[in-house]
Amino acid sequence: MADLRVERDGPVATIVLDRPDALNALTVPLKEALLVALSDVDRDRTIRAVVLTGAGRAFCAGQDLRERLGPDALPLADEIRTRYNPLIRAMRELPKPIVGAINGVAAGAGASLAFACDLRIAAEGASFLLAFGRVGLIPDSGVTWLLPRLVGGAKAAELALTGEPLSAADAERFGLVAKVVPAAEVVVVAQALAARLAAGAPIALALTKEAIESSWSATLDEQL
Ligand code: T3D
């Protein structure tokens, strides 16, 4: 599939955003291909864990801003509802763990994709950038839900309001990434973690993911 590759190694599928010249910025075909890949991974019972990464030096630079200026671009809100929100839902509802191999900058909706992974391994030079304000937007694609849950409200507000980048090292300090490794190792380390998860009990993993997700809107009694 153009702009997206899916590589298989036993029970682990690695999904690679593959537009390195544009820092893997998200076009309509790329978003559609990613949604199809997530649905394929969901249906394939032999796949038990997923790695999401980007080709080249970036993880993902968010919405392709060149495409957005084109004549065929949907109104912004429609694009978010019809293409971005389904992607974030598909990632959070996938009953298999997703490990983000954050190989470089994750900006705008690219940061949303990184935050929607279950675990993140980051390359030393990677960063997270809530670039939405630079193009006059508020953080969309789930950022305002995902980020406070990952790093706490104060840090989420700081990152969202200032638009300052968060380095991989700081992201590790805040628990946003599980581990920071040299760039050359990030995919291999993420795949090894995914393989370890894939060796676990799949239904237990799926229910664990679901229980953590549902805890945010549940009382302790409901969760018990
Ligand atoms: O539909 C909707 O609009 C709704 C959804 C919105 C959600 C969003 O994602 S909004 C946020 C969109 N993303 C951004 O605003 C980020 C824009 N990019 C940057 O700020 C910088 O590129 C980075 C900080 C990510 C990286 O900087 P740097 O200096 O390492 O690289 P660069 O030189 O800026 O970019 C390299 C190339 O990638 C360059 O192309 P060229 O000149 O070599 O042909 C640049 O134009 C291209 N590129 C980078 N980001 C995008 C992009 N092309 C299209 N869209 C991009 N988002």
pLDDT digits (tens, 9 = 90+) for 29-79: 999 999 999 999 999 999 999 999 999 999 999 999 999 999 889 999 999
The band of 135, judged by pLDDT with boundaries at 50, 70 and 90, is confident
* Domain CATH number, residue 118: 3.90.226.10
Q: What is the pLDDT of residues 171-211, one digit of tens each?
A: 999 999 999 999 999 999 999 999 999 999 999 999 999 99
The band of 1, judged by pLDDT with boundaries at 50, 70 and 90, is low
The reply to whether 209 falls in a domain is no
* Sheet with 127-129, side-by-side order of all strands: 58-60, 105-107, 127-129, 166-167
Q: Model pTM?
A: 0.97
Domain that holds residue 169: 4-199
Helix/strand/coil for 71: coil
Question: In the numeric block, which tokens belong to residue 154?
Answer: 């104060």
pLDDT of residue 132: 87
Pocket of ligand 1 (CB under 6 A): 22-23, 25, 61-66, 68, 76, 79-80, 84, 105, 107-109, 129, 131-132, 134-135, 137, 140
The reply to whether 223 falls in a domain is no
The reply to whether 151 falls in a domain is yes
Question: In the numeric block, which tokens belong to residue 222?
Answer: 């409901």
Nearest residue (by CA) to ligand 1, atom 56, is 64
The reply to whether 204 falls in a domain is no
Give the number of domains in the chain.
1
| Ligand 1 atom with minimal separation from the 165 CA | 24
Percent of the chain having pLDDT more than 90?
A: 94
